[in-house]
Structure 1
């Protein structure tokens, strides 16, 4: 039986979403990323991977467009199974709480609820 999962990486700009996607899903050596910094994500970077008998769709959302994802572009969360919120230690507690509250709200509205 083949399962499909939609995973969304979400967070402020420069918090490490693309790095996490590259290291954990594409198996890029993290030390190589120290020598070659990544360009900021524009819009959505989507990739697909097979893991055992499952198909994973990874959606890396640009942090610069965070307000759009929560307002005019909510459909990106439709049928999402997992949202991974990524924060940098330098993000303020207020910013983190605000993003988490918005994420919970959008998840109740758009995500799959198993």
Structure 2
């Protein structure tokens, strides 16, 4: 993001991406409903969509899955569905941190 992007803009971007990721997670069937193969295919589809549409970066190293998306990183050893959920939790923590920064900046400016 460029230097002209405000903290409020960053928060809005991460909130928008959380909504997008949640929608994509909702498209992944449960193992009980669809079985392992269908779940894995849906996870791979979501991974490819996030990479293609939003520049997400995925890797597998040291026994864990890793993702970096919208300035937020997350890891998981239990597969992509867990990784997507962990990313959402990390994104929510980042928003909380950015709000603290925004409040501090507002106090300094006043």
Q: Under a length normalisation based on structure 2, what TM-score does the superposition of the two structures give?
A: 0.31
Which structure has the larger Rg? 2
The structure with the largest strand share of the pair is 1
The structure with the largest helix share of the pair is 2
Which structure ranks higher in relative contact order (CA pairs < 8 Å, sequence separation ≥ 6)? 1
